[in-house]
Amino acid sequence: MPQLRHILPGLLSLALTLLLTACNPKPNATGISYADSYLVDVRTPEEFQSGSADGAVNIPLHTLSTRLEELKGKQQIVVFCRSGARSAQAYEVLQEAGFKNVVDGGSWSEVQAQLTPH
């Protein structure tokens, strides 16, 4: 039992860290919170209708360059698609248009996982 006295503070610290992490929006690898971002699904309207990340808007990749005005003034933009290929293209389109606040979120299921508390 004396060993427990040495382990207990570390276990309490770990439990507190896990609790605080579970209660806060989950940041992605870049450190931003997807929950605080403008989520843009760049798949087709048909794909979007079949399911998307919570709170996302649909701006299909082929229309993105004509709809840039809709994205101006957004704090943080996360683009995503089915597999990550179109979101990579959308990221490039937005970077070339001067948007610096863009993150390539990859697939919509990856973005949804970022939004789901664990």
Active site residues: 81
Cα 39 from Cα 42, distance rounded (Å): 10
Which tokens in the block code for residue 21?
């992490």
Q: Under a CB-based contact definition with an 8 Å cutoff, are residues 82 and 47 in contact?
A: yes
Q: For the chain, how many residues are written?
A: 118
Cα 92 from Cα 52, distance rounded (Å): 22
Side-chain-side CA neighbours of 79 within 13 Å: the count stands at 26
